[in-house]
Structure 1
Amino acid sequence: MLRPERMSKVSVTGSKRVMDEVIETVHGLKLLHVVDYDGSWAGFEPGDPGEEAESISETLVTVRSIESILDVDEEDAGPSRIVSDEEVDAEIADVRARVNELDDRRSELREERREVDERLSSMRPFAKLGIDLDLLSGYDSLETRVVEGREDQIREALSEAEGIEEFETFAEANVVALFVYPEEGHEAVLEDALVGVEAAPLTVPDAETGPDEYVATLEERKAGIDAKLEEVDDELEELKLDAAGFLLAVEEQLSIDVQKAEVPLSFATTDRSFIAEGWVPTSRYDELEAALHEEVGEHVECEELARVDYDEAAAGHGHGTHDDEPGDAGDADRQPAAADGEGEPAEVRSDGGQTRSMHGDEPPVVQQNSTVVKPFEMLVQAVNRPKYSELDPTIILFLTFPTMFGLMIGDVGYGFLYMALGYGLYRFFESPGIRSLGGVAIWCGVFTTIFGFFYGELFGFHTLSYVFWQDIAGLSYAPLEKGLDSSFALLWLVVSLLIGVVHLSLGFLFGFVNDLEAEGIVPAYLDNASWILMIVGVWTWVFSHSASASKPDFLFTVFNGDPVSLGFGGFSATVGLAGVGLFLVGMVSMIAGEIRHEGPMVGGLAGLIESVNALVHVVSYARVAAVLLAKAGMAFVVNLLVVGAYQDDAGLHFLDASTATAPQGAELMFPGIISTDAGLAVAAATFVAGALVFVVGHILVLILGITSAGLQGVRLEYVEFFGKFYDGGGENYEPFGYDRTHTTE
């Protein structure tokens, strides 16, 4: 689980006359991750695509264009089918002609409708006025204009303007018609008068009828266009139903044909021979070799060049060990095979002991995780896919993220809801990313339920505490509490810090393994083990009785009877001093590592400053306790509003729904919405109101649980844990081939 699947680099060499058979065989296996030839071999050139590649690509573009016009998607697919070239040529031409005709008609109707809408938009203001259009223009002595604006502002401006002898306005809503008679010797007075007034001019349309009649005519025309558009859409929908399955099958078959036709571009070729290189999982190399031998026989040579070990990939060599007797490649570059005069490949041989290989020596990555763990690969890949040489942290993410999430939320009711939500995402969505998210949600729900069981909580109520832990298990209360009214709050703070110590140390341990394989023991120790020594050392001192007078008492009591009895009351002062020594050894080693990277001045100062993070980064995990208490408080407040609560010497208790009275000697905190002994009508109304508050409140808590506990957990994984060892950047394993869904062979 911590390592990707082991990969082998292979070479397939043969005569060009069998290249098509080799391509068909390899494509059917969907096993070889093809490496592109980089043009570095003398006498070899990248291969040419098949003669039919261009025409296939053009047809594929046509099919996708038709699918776009018809709005075809995967849900429209029918049963899988065999697609022949004759069927493609004949039916695609017919479908394209019908689609183009309907699409052209639809485009023309939409353009006509757009023009009608524009004319309606320009005519409606004049219809509001109710004035015939011929009365709004064509005067010799009057200046007229129709504007959008406030009539009172316009009249005020006209009354104060110079050169106007008389004016009149007609307004409806915000549309104003202006008629101005200028004084003798004045012209264009209306334009000057409206300067500074918010009045947008409207162009008087050219129409022979009145505005109302003209608008009615346009509306009728628009309705006719819409009816025609609906007819065209119905015809396109009918065509879609008839052709969708065929189009999807053709698109898939053409995509496969394009794949096969263009893959020679990745080969190294001469006039008579070709070489293809790539990666296969080591465990399946024999399958590739056997299939090629069965389909092509002796006309092709399949050779295992290298089985790449993780430590060699980390060191950047790119060639692996040759255990289990893979093909002889050596540590140098492989010399490509020659072809004889008949076009048959000559024996694969080395030239003077030197071998040559294409570029691409970093193997692609196939993460090896069980079905249970696999959904968490999505969270890892959100950062980046692990390199072949890196440890895969998916299993650690699976163990830690749901645990921290469950610890923070811890409620059986919420746990079942998270599981239901996760199942819905996993069951009803096809997207791999959403399905993976559903798997993560299911596991978060499982751990939320487990912790909720030990907290004894069901939607914030302590129902399980009474029903199981008291009545069945015989305990006075649940084994754990959220900490709202007890020293459990301090316990969760200490637990959060311990989680931080373990989580960070594990991250640096991963970094140590990665660097050990890539650079050796000394760099691995200086850059990683030194931090483990510092973290363990400083926190050993924190939990020791060394200088205990300056430390809070709860560090020594939370596991020693208040609130749980594990018999740990802190390390001795001697152990604490040993922790200080461990911290100093780690700090000196870490500073030496910084000096190695940055030089004496910068590295030494940076190391001193960075050493504080052995304390600070662990304290960052206190957010786990903070979210735990916050979520508990939010659920408590919702329930407090609904049923009310009281407090006595034993702590907080929710009221019985039938009464708003606290027991004698207890303090009533809040009576609750539904805790009433009023009449039936009032009780019914308060019950409905309380139920509404309960449902909405807990939905909000549920959602905030995702945004707070989820995001804080992800932050601790990405920033604190991944940041200690993880680079990522591995290449995805993409074998040459195609998963058919709409076609069959």
Structure 2
Amino acid sequence: MFRPKRMSKVSVTGSKAVMDDVIETVHDLHLVHFTDYDGRWEGFDNGNPMEGGDEASEKLVTVRSLKSILGVEPEDAGPSRIVTDETLETELEEIRTEANELDDERTETESELREVEEEIAAMDPFATLGIDLDLLWGYDSLSVAVGEGSADGVERALADLDVATQVFAEDGVVAAFARTDEDTLQSAVVEADFTAIDVPHEEGDPQDVLAELEHREQKLESKLDTVEDRLEELRYDVAGFLLAAEEKLSIRARKAEAPLSFATTENAFVAEGWIPSERADEFERALADAVDDHVDVEELEVAEYDRHGHAATTEAVDHTPEATGAGTGGVEEEGATAAADEDEAEPQTARTDGGTVTMGGDDDPPVIQDNGVSQPFELLTKAVGRPNYSEFDPTLILFLTFPLMFGFIIGDVGYGLIYTGVGYYMIRNYDSDAFKNFGVITAVCGVATAIFGFLYGEIFGLHLVASQFWEGVVGLNHAPIEKGLSPATSYWANTWFLVTALFGLLHLNTAYVLEFVENVSLHGVKEAILETGSWILALNGLWIFIFSRLFDGAKPDLLFETFDEGHAAAFELGFAGFPAEIGWVGLGMVGLGMALLAIGPVHELIEIHVVLAHTLSYLRIAAVLLAKAGMAFAVNLLFWGAYEIPTEYGAEWHFMLTYGPEYALEHYEGAAILFPGMVHMGPAMAVFGVFVLIVGNLVVLILGVTSSGIQSIRLEFFEFFEKFYEGNGTAYQPFGTERTYTADDQS
């Protein structure tokens, strides 16, 4: 699981007479990730597209245009079908003609409708004004201005003119008449709150004109609805055909373009690509069944998991023109093999990394991640990048640690069940692989949250699981673990800061070990020790020193109390720190690590502090845990209320779920009310309290996801991944098509 599937580079050499059959077979296998020929061999050129490719591409453009016009979606497909060449010629043209006619009609109608709507908008103010249109234009000695604005403002503006004026207004539409020229009138109304409107050169009552325009609008809308209905009907009739035709033509175009990746001569071709090593025999058998012995199939190399991803060839193949018969007539049209006899073949030039020079040069193997049950978490890994073939794939570790951090931080049965339900809903209701994988991640994190919530004894921030199960059924004094919010249990809060630091130490060690193994395969043991062993020594030596009794007076007590014995020990393991002598060993390890860095990558000495800083970065897990728990406590405190009672080790806090403040004060000695609770303050406050409880829990639910999710994934990406992971691998893209809309015998 930590490595991608092992890949093999294969070569297919043969006569051009069987190239089409080879392409058909390879396409149907959907197995080979082709390597593009880069022109390195004398006498070989990149192949030319097969006949029919251009025609298929042109028809493909037509089909996709029709899909866009009709709004065809994948769910419109129906059952798979056979699409013949004759059907493509006839039915496609019929659909194109009808669809284009309807689309043109729709476009024309929409254009007319927009024009009418603009005319209606322009006529509406005149209908409001109520003056016949022919009274608003056509005067020789009278000017008219119509617009929207204040009638009083226009009258004041016209008062300054030494001419006869008249103003009419209705619902904010103003018409101003003045016995002067148009420029003078326009200059006057500019001073007022007035926006001019062009007067249409029409006659009659504007209400009648508006009614006629609205009638035209209704007719055009009806016509547009009819066209849309016809397009919708056409869409349902032809959607399955168009989707199948698109698939068929895409396959044909892809096959036609395949020779562009090949190395070819006049009579022969060579194709190379990567396939999963486990299927190499299947690949060879399939080609043998298809073209007998008219091609030579060789497994050139089985890629090793080093930085280059190559190994020595299993059997080198001579691709010289003489061996393939290029230009010599050595490859007959009947399909005779173009590969040279092994005894006469000249081995290719050896690579410095142990591989061979092939037609694609130094191409790294594509990556097929192999993660089994943790496959959905590849979604998070690919957020950084697909792993290189030579890298360890961290998906499995992500699967184990991300839900662990997420669930630990929120730790609540109620919230966990909600997250699980949301994840299940996404899995069941989304077709996208990305959404389904995200749903799986959400569900797994929800399950982890519920498990930790069960151990904390909490459901929606209330300790009902603790009281009803851990105390009532199991007989414990409290849940197995606690979050440590009350003074009496605050030692748990200290515990979580220490535990998360130790988790960070384990997480970082895992990353460094993975980097160490990679460096061994890349550079050798010596370089691995200098580059990575130095960090492992410094990291672990520092924390051995921290947990030792050396200079213990300067260290916090929680380092030695948490795993010792007594009240302050959350886990009574009897560990009170390493002896001082071990502390000196730890400091020696730090010094040795720094010395190794000085010998090797000396520039990294400046970053030696990260062995402390990156581990302390994991304390954010405990910090967010306490913050989220505090938010849930505050919400429940407001609604239910709570009281505190003194104990030997500090005050304990309890919610008032079944009784009020008076009962608590009467029945619990030394009780003090923290907050009486809205539910105990009368009906009105109880109703408002329900709103506070629901909204508060929703806020905790949402912020819990964002804070715990962001902080957990940040630790994965920045503290863990950066130690060993680059994530710039090549995706495995095999030549072929997974058929959805066409039957298997289509091409």
TM-score (norm 1): 0.91
SS at match of 2:293: helix
RMSD of Structure 2 on Structure 1 (CA):
2.4
Distance in 2, matches of 1:490 and 1:193, equals: 80
Match of 1:506 among 499, 503, 510: 510
Q: Which amino acid aligns with 1:492?
A: W
SS at match of 1:729: coil
Match of 2:611 among 592, 614, 634: 614
Aligned-pair CA distance for 1:120: 1.3
Q: Which amino acid aligns with 1:177?
A: A
Cα 1:671–1:93 shift into 2, 3 Å: same
Distance in 1, matches of 2:191 and 2:496, equals: 68
Cα 1:187–1:171 shift into 2, 3 Å: closer
SS at match of 1:674: helix
Percent identity over the alignment is 49
Cα 1:688–1:83 shift into 2, 3 Å: farther
Distance in 1, matches of 2:707 and 2:608, equals: 29
Where does residue 353 of structure 1 map in the other structure? 347
2:11/2:300 contact within 8 Å kept: yes
Where does residue 8 of structure 2 map in the other structure? 8
Aligned-pair CA distance for 1:352: 4.2
Cα 1:346–1:247 shift into 2, 3 Å: closer
Match of 1:630 among 607, 624, 627: 627
Where does residue 368 of structure 2 map in the other structure? 366
Aligned-pair CA distance for 1:707: 1.0
Cα 1:187–1:247 shift into 2, 3 Å: closer
- Aligned pairs for 1:374-523 (under 5 A) are 374-485=375-486, 486-523=490-527
Aligned-pair CA distance for 1:662: 4.8
Q: Which amino acid aligns with 2:512?
A: F
Aligned-pair CA distance for 1:345: 2.8
- Aligned pairs for 1:543-582 (under 5 A) are 543-560=547-564, 561=566, 562-564=568-570, 565-582=572-589
2:262/2:272 contact within 8 Å kept: yes
Runs of 5+ in structure 1 lacking a partner?
596-602
Aligned-pair CA distance for 1:258: 1.4
2:35/2:363 contact within 8 Å kept: no
Aligned-pair CA distance for 1:133: 2.3
Deviations 1:169-214 (A, max 9, x none): 33344433233345xxx88333433556664322112322322222
SS at match of 1:439: helix
Distance in 1, matches of 2:663 and 2:573, equals: 36
Cα 1:541–1:149 shift into 2, 3 Å: farther
SS at match of 1:4: coil
Aligned-pair CA distance for 1:130: 2.2
Q: Which amino acid aligns with 2:641?
A: G
Cα 1:655–1:264 shift into 2, 3 Å: same
Aligned-pair CA distance for 1:475: 0.4
Distance in 2, matches of 1:155 and 1:525, equals: 94
Aligned-pair CA distance for 1:375: 0.5
Cα 1:511–1:662 shift into 2, 3 Å: farther
Q: Which amino acid aligns with 2:248?
A: Q
Distance in 1, matches of 2:102 and 2:192, equals: 50
- Aligned pairs for 1:128-147 (under 5 A) are 128-147=128-147
Aligned-pair CA distance for 1:456: 0.5
Distance in 2, matches of 1:151 and 1:711, equals: 61
Where does residue 677 of structure 2 map in the other structure? 672
Match of 1:223 among 218, 222, 228: 218
Where does residue 722 of structure 1 map in the other structure? 721
1:335/1:351 contact within 8 Å kept: no
2:134/2:204 contact within 8 Å kept: no
Distance in 2, matches of 1:667 and 1:352, equals: 93
- Aligned pairs for 1:267-346 (under 5 A) are 267-311=262-306, 314=307, 316=308, 319-321=310-312, 326-328=314-316, 337-338=324-325, 340-343=330-333, 344-346=336-338
Cα 1:187–1:222 shift into 2, 3 Å: closer
Aligned-pair CA distance for 1:11: 0.3
Greater mean deviation of Cα atoms: 354-363 or 214-223? 354-363
Cα 1:209–1:581 shift into 2, 3 Å: farther
SS at match of 1:544: coil
Indicate yes or no: 2:27 matched with 1:27.
yes
Match of 2:176 among 164, 175, 178: 178
Q: For this pair of structures, how many residues does the alignment match?
A: 715
Distance in 1, matches of 2:146 and 2:21, equals: 78
SS at match of 2:662: coil
Aligned-pair CA distance for 1:280: 0.6
Distance in 2, matches of 1:706 and 1:265, equals: 49
- Aligned pairs for 1:82-97 (under 5 A) are 82-97=82-97
Cα 1:258–1:551 shift into 2, 3 Å: same
Distance in 1, matches of 2:689 and 2:322, equals: 80
Where does residue 354 of structure 2 map in the other structure? none
Deviations 1:662-699 (A, max 9, x none): 512322222323335x5xxx3xx666544443333222
TM-score (norm 2): 0.91
Distance in 1, matches of 2:94 and 2:502, equals: 70
Q: Which amino acid aligns with 1:589?
A: L
Cα 1:568–1:206 shift into 2, 3 Å: farther
Aligned-pair CA distance for 1:308: 1.0
Match of 1:236 among 231, 244, 254: 231
2:14/2:268 contact within 8 Å kept: yes
Aligned-pair CA distance for 1:278: 0.1
Q: Which amino acid aligns with 1:354?
A: Q
SS at match of 1:58: helix
SS at match of 1:472: helix
2:415/2:449 contact within 8 Å kept: yes
Distance in 2, matches of 1:115 and 1:504, equals: 68
Runs of 5+ in structure 2 lacking a partner?
350-356
Where does residue 640 of structure 2 map in the other structure? 643
SS at match of 1:663: helix
Cα 1:471–1:168 shift into 2, 3 Å: same
SS at match of 2:484: coil
